[in-house]
Amino acid sequence: MVDFKRLEDIDVAGKRVLVRVDFNVPCDDEGNVTDGTRLVAALPTINFLRKHKAKIILISHFGRPGGKRETRASMMKLIKPLTSLLGTDVAFAPDCIGKTADAAVAALRDGDVLLLENTRFHKGETHKADGTKGYDPKFAAALAAHGDIFVHDAFSVAHRAQGSTSGIAASLPAYAGLAMERELDHLTQALDIPRRPVMGLVGGAKVSSKIDLLKNLVSRLDRLAIGGGMANTFLAALGHSVGASLCEHDLTDTALEIMRNAERENCEILLPVDVVAAKEFKAGAKHRVCGLDAVADDEMILDAGPATVDKLADAIDASKTLIWNGPLGAFELTPFDTATVEAAKYAARRAQNNGLIAVAGGGDTVAALKHAGVADDFTFISTAGGAFLEWMEGKALPGVEILKK
């Protein structure tokens, strides 16, 4: 259980509040925002601070300019959509430190909002003075000089110790913003103090990218369903033929170890009991449903079969909490999205009608649930990606550690 300092705990009236947001949003070639989800996520914190008469200074990175100025990576493009969302003018400073930034901060009145330029225009955001990874304390101190209070509201970068996160917290008292609070509260509820039985569903392409995740989850869950390409490695470890499927045969011993650990921890492992196989990896490819030992040498497993979806539905019914990360098949290709869509819809119905706490996160996961049309029906969906995974792996996140009481 994370006991952290919250924005509501402090008086911000008249204070300069430095807010770390994540405005690294997708844009088209003309610089127009194509998905404003992260802008919208920051609104509750910004509006709270406006209501309580703080001077609000927003900082964020955008892209990977590598410590150099790039027009396409400028935060200036976000002023118009952010102004529209807030319904008030948003000032802009063409740098995040230095005289221009200092002057822009000094001009703020209570309730004003200022967006500083991309923090990654400075190498000190992500690298020390000697060029090694980390952050330059001098750069972090220059950022911190803009504020009296630091509010971290970007869980998506909480797994990185950077100048605009951990660096600022070395100089200013740090508090969680409302978006950060929501992430931490829901993730804590799902994994640290869950309503049991708690079930995890982990999919995706490779076991190698989620070894730490699986090892941590089997010690904390009551049941764990494994799907996607990574399930093939577990099936192969149990002696099933997976044909030409994506499979990390060199990790079969690791898969067996994870299953043995799960047994010791009384965590039930759920693997596919039937599959959808095809000879081509493309949308609309000729395919068939078959048993685990009926996959031909020239066939690929591209989705879980209907009996597997039924088994997952039964497991969801027997659970009070569900944590979902990753698709069950090649959901980008019809009809190999079927298992992911059907299981997601079933979980969403249980969340809406039967009190299931359904929490999901990770890039592919968000895309898959949006594809299934149920993203708004889960209890909570984290868009944090790497930070979500590291939290689920049980790792300490620098951006959360700075908020602990």
For 332, counting Cβ atoms within 10 Å of its Cβ (0-12 exposed, 13-18 middle, 19+ buried), the class is middle
Query: Residue 156 is encoded by which pair of tokens?
Result: 């998506």
| Annotated catalytic residue 395 | no
Query: Residue 97 is encoded by which pair of tokens?
Result: 């430190």
Query: In 3-state terms, what secondary structure has residue 127?
Result: strand
Query: Residue 365 is encoded by which pair of tokens?
Result: 């996961």
- The sheet carrying 287-291 orders its strands as 287-291, 274-278, 300-304
Catalytic residue among 31, 36, 386, 394: 386
The structure tokens 């402090």 sit at 10
The amino acid that residue 276 corresponds to is: V
- Contact between 143 and 164 under an 8 Å Cβ cutoff? The reply is yes
> What whole-number distance in Å separates Cα of residue 258 and Cα of residue 269?
9
The amino acid that residue 253 corresponds to is: D
Which residues are within 8 A (CB) of 264 and not within 5 positions of it... i.e. 6 or more apart?
none
| Annotated catalytic residue 204 | no
User: In the Cβ-directed half-sphere of 6, how many Cα atoms lie within 13 Å?
Assistant: 12
Catalytic residue among 50, 53, 206, 288: 206
| Annotated catalytic residue 386 | yes
- Contact between 16 and 149 under an 8 Å Cβ cutoff? The reply is yes
- Contact between 222 and 268 under an 8 Å Cβ cutoff? The reply is yes
> What whole-number distance in Å separates Cα of residue 321 and Cα of residue 311?
17
| Annotated catalytic residue 38 | yes
Query: Residue 96 is encoded by which pair of tokens?
Result: 């995040």
Distance of CA 279 to the CA centre of its chain: 33
Catalytic residue among 38, 77, 120, 311: 38
How far CA 264 is from CA of 35, 36, 102, 256, 259, in Å, comes to 44, 45, 58, 12, 9
User: Which residues participate in catalysis according to the annotation?
Assistant: 38, 206, 363, 386
